[in-house]
Amino acid sequence: MTLLTPRLAVDGQPWRRVVLGDGTTLDVRPLQRTDGPALAAAVASLSADSRYRRFLTPKPRLTDRELARLTDVDHHAREALVAVEPSTGEWVGVVRYAVFPHEPRVADVAVTVADSWQRRGVGTALLRVLVEHARREGIARLHATTFADNRAALRLLAARGFAVREARRDSVELALELAPAAA
């Protein structure tokens, strides 16, 4: 996977173009508040299993309240990035973090990839861009929680440097310590 330089901006935030291992090019851009309908459609298009693994509970659809919360990003303490297939505009993945209110330098991370795009490196590319952004924002640690049997998520997070902090019977908490961004 190749990460290319920023190419344009949405609300002052740069887009990135990434090239996956198979040569596929995707645009990665910041989520905007106006993306609610597209986000709802993307979540609805996921299989029931993918929605369950993303939200850690059965989730047939997003409520209006959940959609408002998920599109409420300031690109600092709350970030969300969307991977888009440039020729079709299809959303293929979303990655996000939200800083914990009681720990302003620690954020929770979530990654979602469309079923037909899984195992192609989309999650890896999105997580790489998000980690870079979090580092620039001064975030010191990223947390992720997944089901203990979600081998794909565990492999993805481990490959990006996340280490297991706590393993329970049903879930695993992982963390990635971030070095400060180079000046």
d(CA 28, CA 91): 10
Q: How far is CA 87 from CA 42, 91, 164, in A?
A: 17, 11, 38
| Structure tokens that stand for 74 in this block | 């300031």
| Structure tokens that stand for 172 in this block | 């695993």
| Structure tokens that stand for 78 in this block | 């709350």
Contact criterion met (CB below 8 Å) for 130 and 95: yes
**Residue 137 CB: number of other CB atoms within 10 A?**
17
Q: What are the pLDDT tens digits along the chain (183 aa)?
A: 333 333 444 455 557 889 999 999 999 999 998 999 999 999 999 999 999 888 888 888 899 999 999 999 999 999 999 999 999 989 999 999 999 999 989 999 999 999 999 999 999 999 999 999 999 999 999 999 999 999 999 999 999 999 999 999 999 999 999 987 665
d(CA 98, CA 86): 27
Q: What confidence score (pLDDT) does residue 14 get?
A: 53
| pTM of the model as a whole | 0.88
Domains and CATH numbers, the chain: 2-177 (3.40.630.30)
Contact criterion met (CB below 8 Å) for 105 and 140: yes
Element (H, E) at 86: none
Structure letter (DSSP) for residue 115: G
Q: What confidence score (pLDDT) does residue 8 get?
A: 41
Q: What confidence score (pLDDT) does residue 138 get?
A: 94
